[in-house]
Homo-oligomer: A and B are copies of this chain.
């Protein structure tokens, strides 16, 4: 197994996380969350999205959030952009990067952004052109890369083809999303290995949801084939708002703990994440799913004397 010296974690809790919570945080709290992440050492943060406020009212204050950020030099703040209209808003916010996305399955793309994959690709071309015209590098996510809840299996060839198309429109960073947590180590290694072989010069990332407890193991499998960029969310929030705790993102705390303990640097301070998680937990009003959070870090005392452990 190959373990690199360093892995980059992009925390998506302010966007992918908060959009799944029934409560809407105030702009002030969002800023506290984002700056808390940066303060803990997170170097990439998906700060906001510019999805229509009717669809995702929790993130309606994107402009206010981006305008009032304490920008740290070592941190890149991203805006998630679903379409051209969103891009027009995003470029006014001075983001460090713009994240675009489309699904690897036709049905999922229709349900998600109400258009075909072909139409999405055309729209993404315009968005990427706008992004670069403002000197902002676009980063793409291929959603449902490892399986679709409507169509089931997603052929690797479909993902590779989409990656080629995105590369052709100038995208140099693509993240594969395991939207409903159905990836497994074997499939993860197969897809990433093929993409690395087929499209050298493409920076690849993994975005694993934890519906079946496999997010961490899929990250390790991806690391083993050379991937060093992963989306995570503070506390493991995110995913479907209808099954809290069951389908969140890989928790940033859990990724940091496992990596740092294995000698892989993340640049992120675990204690600072745990403290920030205390505040987030209070704000969202329920326990966060992160496992390391529940264990409060590295070591806990065992049970009473005389209790048989093994």
Taking beta carbons and an 8 Å cutoff, which residues of A are in contact with B? 1, 3, 16, 19, 49, 51, 55-56, 80, 82, 101, 108, 111-114, 141, 143-144, 147, 149-150, 152, 177, 179-182, 184-187, 189, 207, 210-214, 216-217, 220-221, 224-225, 240-243, 246-247, 251, 254, 257-258, 261-263, 290-292, 294-295, 298-303, 305-310
Do B217 and A308 touch across chains, with their CB atoms under 8 A apart? Answer: no
SS class, residues of chain A in contact with chain B: loop
Closest partner residue, chain B, to A189 (CB atom): B1
Q: Are A186 and B308 in contact (CB under 8 A)?
A: no
Q: Which residue in chain B gives the minimum CB-CB distance to A262? A: B186
Report the nearest B residue to A224, measured CB to CB. Answer: B1
Known: A1-B185, A1-B224, A181-B295. 9 other contacts (CB 8 A): A1-B221, A55-B308, A80-B310, A111-B305, A185-B220, A207-B310, A211-B291, A213-B213, A213-B251
Q: Contacts A1-B1, A19-B308, A55-B308 hold; do A303 and B186 have CB atoms under 8 A apart? A: no
Contact between B299 and A186, CB atoms less than 8 A apart: no
Q: Which residues of B contact A308 (CB under 8 A)?
A: 19, 49, 51, 55-56, 82, 112-113
Contact B149 A241 (CB under 8 A): no
* CB atoms of A306 and B111 under 8 A apart: yes
Question: Which residues does chain B contribute within 8 Å of A147, judged by CB atoms?
Answer: 299
Cα distance A114–B16 in the bound complex, in angstroms: 50
